[in-house]
Amino acid sequence: MELKKACLDAARDLYLRARIWLFDLLSDGDVMGEPNILHPSIFTGPGKVAFGQNVRVGIRHSPYFWSGNNHFDTRRNEAMIEIGNNVAINNNFTAICLANITVGDDTLIGFNVTIMDFDAHGVEPHLRRGNPGKSAAVNIGRNCWIGSNVAILKGVSIGDNSIIGLGSVVTGSIPANVIAAGNPCQVVREIHVI
């Protein structure tokens, strides 16, 4: 039984390393910094993705570890995704950027989180194809906790120390030191910071 487990663990590690290598090979984005990539991650687009120190991308014992991938997409030359120091990003994360997405130091991001700083398509029917819609920077403060299955949309700022609850759709800014949740995401209560 121990030999079977050891062989299975070795096969899993080989499979994961091959997927990480393949996604790295497929990436054409400009990455600055050296994140610890533990889950297949692709970097695309002409902009830049900048990582601070001690950033972890992917978590072994979490959903989507054996499937899915993380996607960092900067769609314009001036687009910039900035990830601060000591940030932990879970599996199946997506950040699509036309302008700027900033994630502050010490922030935790759950699995299956999407951040977009633009509409993706024009609102008017005749503008839906080939038009990315409006864009506005996204700023997530320091020491935030973004729960799993959260969508953060254009123009949102989330204040330091705030928590965004599981499954929330964040369409407006959230102040510091609060718990917020829902669709649309709203403040539920304050957090007392010592």
> pLDDT digits over 29-57, tens only?
999 999 999 999 999 999 999 999 999 99
Distance set, CA 93 to CA 56, 86, 144 (Å) = 12, 17, 16
Backbone phi and psi for residue 170, each to the nearest 5 degrees, phi listed first: -95, 110
CATH of domain 2-190: 2.160.10.10
121-130 pLDDT, tens digit each? 878 888 788 7
Domain range annotation of the chain: 2-190
150: pLDDT strictly greater than 80: yes
Catalytic residues: 121
Compute the CA torsion angle 21, 24, 26, 28 (nearest 10 deg). Answer: -160
